Structure 1
Amino acid sequence: MTDTRIAFIGAGNMAASLIGGLRAKGLDAAQIRASDPGADTRARVSAEHGIETFADNAEAIQGVDVIVLAVKPQAMKAVCESLRPSLQPHQLVVSIAAGINCASLKHWLGAQPIVRCMPNTPSLLRKGVSGLYATADVTAEQRDQAQELLSAVGIALWLDQEQQLDAVTAVSGSGPAYFFLLIEAMTAAGVKLGLSKDVAEQLAEQTALGAAHMAVASDVDAAELRRRVTSPGGTTQAAIESFQAGGFEALVEKALGAAAHRSAELAEQLGK
């Protein structure tokens, strides 16, 4: 992206994280610009990252190669329709808004190459993971641009079918909340077992962090890692058997299915 010019439409937390990631990777501030209706937001992003900001979206996209749509899904239709007269055919549009499919974006924007992304909230710490889907008119160079953009805040994985973004939403988009829920539950159980809340919370949080690091760094899958720490007849086996007796795996499958179904529903509702 040495010569790529990027405009962010919307300069909220996720946009600011992407901008910070790009700047940390060496992208010059002169190559990045952002627009936002909030004067305070514009001032903060400009001060933190040294980029030019605009109140007018159409002005912000003049002369850029990549346009990142980082606005709330409910505002996407109005934003896209207002941008349409100012768009150039070569400009890549990258949407990081949940629930807005490519067909809706094409309808509102016109014949633009589009990459739709589903990042998650750890992207704010540059520890995220994103699923990406490109329309057929996206060039190889533009795919590389989108890949580098999302890689600035974590891992970026390409999908073959847009429908798979509903599954990505279920697994990783909503996923951080599942781990937060487990941390909450482990903390509460630790307190009932006699620990102070502070100690129980730190034990649960650090255990989650350590387990994630082990899973990422290991050359075996999570199932094998679990087997390695589950001694026959030991304490871990007692806990795992209790989880499984309660239908743990089936409950997780049901929960992720509900999230994926809701993702598809929202795409239909928000795309009208």
Structure 2
Amino acid sequence: MASEDFSEKGFLSSSVFVHKKDVRHRYSDAFSQCEEISDIAHQLLLSADADPSDTPTLTAFLFCERTLRTCQAAIRLCELGLIQEAQILLRTAFETSFHAQALLVKPEIFRLLDAQSEKEEAKHARDMLAHIPEDQISDDDRLLLLAMRDTGKAGNFSVFESARVAGMLEHYAVAYRGLSALAGHATFRSLDRSFLKGEEGFELRIGPSEDQLVFTLSLTAQCIGFAVRSLKCIIQSSLASGHGSSPRSNPI
């Protein structure tokens, strides 16, 4: 069966798999770099033995897992030519990597991250109560939203603060803020890759792109490397405290 053309179905076309095979061949070095560091991170995840009673370290471990999983998803999107979409995910992966390392450097910030999380949930509840018509919210849901709104703590611990505590402000400034402008936020700059300049003017880009592919994969490998560093710290700390054991398939 012939593959559908991108002009017919966009990225739901089976042609993406033809592109994947081609791009994996032509950029094999960049993809291999990501896969090698991903394999290392995955094995560390399986061998880590985070103490459930050590909440900051356990949270850091879970942030590491999310960092790796998000980076792996970004790699898959790069294979399909969805580079900007991969960068959106990669921005989130840098954020979780900042939080993971910050918690290991300064465990006491856990309460600040917790307060910030509750603040965001309270804001969400407040906005829902303010903007959803009353007859569209059940009594039980209203009570739940009111409880969320009223129990939110006063928090103001930003991604910047996590990056500062983690000693990763350079990566915050270059990678995180750069990816925010390129892809993560709805900026005018983020629209640059939606069109091509042709002989008769501008036209909508249809199909996969290779623009910034190597750049994006390089940042992805770097971000996974941060997860590897944090996971090694977790394993070393666990062994030093006597909680750790030999590598096993179930991390917790």
Q: TM bucket by the smaller chain?
A: under 0.3
TM-score (norm 2): 0.24
Higher relative contact order (CA 8 A, sep 6+): 2
